[in-house]
Amino acid sequence: KQLASVAGGKLATPMVASLTMSDHPEAAYGASPEIIYEGKAFKEVDWFRMVDKEMEFVSKVTNAEIMRVRSGLATLRDRCEQWSKEMKDKSAEQSGARARTMLTQLGGLEAEAKQLGSDFLALEKFVNLNYQAFEKLLKNHDRLMPHTPCHQFYMSKLRNQDWIRNDFSDVFVALSDCHSLLRQDDSGVANNDAKQDFVRNTKKYWVPTEHVSSLKHLILQHLPVFRVWTGGGDSQLINSVYFDNRQMQLYHGRMDKTPGAIALRLRWYGTEIKSVFVERKTHLDAWTGNVSVKERFVLDEPLVVPFLNGSYTVNEFADDM
């Protein structure tokens, strides 16, 4: 505000340019009006340096905290694996003292996992607060000093910061692994059996973006993050190809939720196609006492086209199982 009051609407950049005269090093933004701030001369370019410095500080804090949480989770996972092995050890002494020791260890490991998850959520809040603060600060600058706008430039720079652009969901995958080991739950492991039929009962909810991570953290304490392959974060690439006729009969049946409506599709996961699921989803009205069903089997990628054109038959598939 002080800089804006001194600027008094003056243009920081000249209205004309010369092809034979170079600008002075202190031209444009560096030639902005000067004030005394904390006992020192202060120009607009100094304000920009302060913004850059604050961005670097947030980046440094975020990277350090992420490294600490990841390191803590790696250590915790090893301890959870050791605890799980000891729990499954049938040759170990079965006594009340051992049971109490194992329960005490379980409580400590669970508390440590929850704390690391809470630390990550606190870091996300720190990042969001700083992001919002930068945006408001830059908007105020452009409102007070419209002749030297910087909002668009700095917001582009801000969105390219590692602490904004990177995907840190691997933290939740590691947390899920720890809680799964403590529950002795391996249901998050992908099942690639040839034939898979199961009842579908799904409910979908809208969740505000700012609450997504908190919800994930709550759920993973009771259910594992399901992954088709190991590595990476909790969001894995899914590819689907749907089949229909020219009248889009299957599509409209699914949209209208017609009883008995089906969807036929091919589905594979990731960028490398090794196995492809052939799936049929059948919608049934719950009020009738029936539940929707999803049936599928898996084909090796080279067999998909032969299966579709009929050169690889169902009987041949059955013989290969």
Query: What local confidence, expressed as pLDDT, does residue 37 receive?
Result: 76
Amino acid identity at 141: H
| Cβ pair 77, 170 in contact under 8 A | no
| Cβ pair 77, 175 in contact under 8 A | no
Tokens of 37: 């701030």
Amino acid identity at 291: V
> d(Cα 258, Cα 170) in Å, to the nearest integer?
40
- 41 DSSP β-pair partners: 36
Give the predicted TM-score (pTM) of the model. Answer: 0.72
Q: Which residues contact 10 (CB under 8 A, 6 or more apart)?
A: 33, 147
Query: What local confidence, expressed as pLDDT, does residue 283 receive?
Result: 85
Tokens of 191: 């099942």
pLDDT tens-digit profile, the chain (321 residues)? 676 666 654 444 444 444 444 444 444 455 566 777 778 888 888 889 999 999 999 999 999 999 999 999 999 999 999 999 999 888 877 788 888 999 999 999 999 999 999 999 999 999 999 999 999 999 999 998 888 888 999 999 999 988 888 888 899 999 999 999 999 987 766 655 545 655 656 778 899 988 999 999 999 999 998 877 666 677 777 899 999 999 999 999 989 988 889 999 999 887 778 889 999 998 887 766 677 788 888 999 999 999 999 999 888 888 887
> What beta strand segments (E) does 133-185 contain?
none
Closest of 121, 117, 122 to residue 73, by C-alpha: 117
Tell me the longest C-alpha to C-alpha distance in the chain. Answer: 92
Coil, helix or strand at residue 170: helix
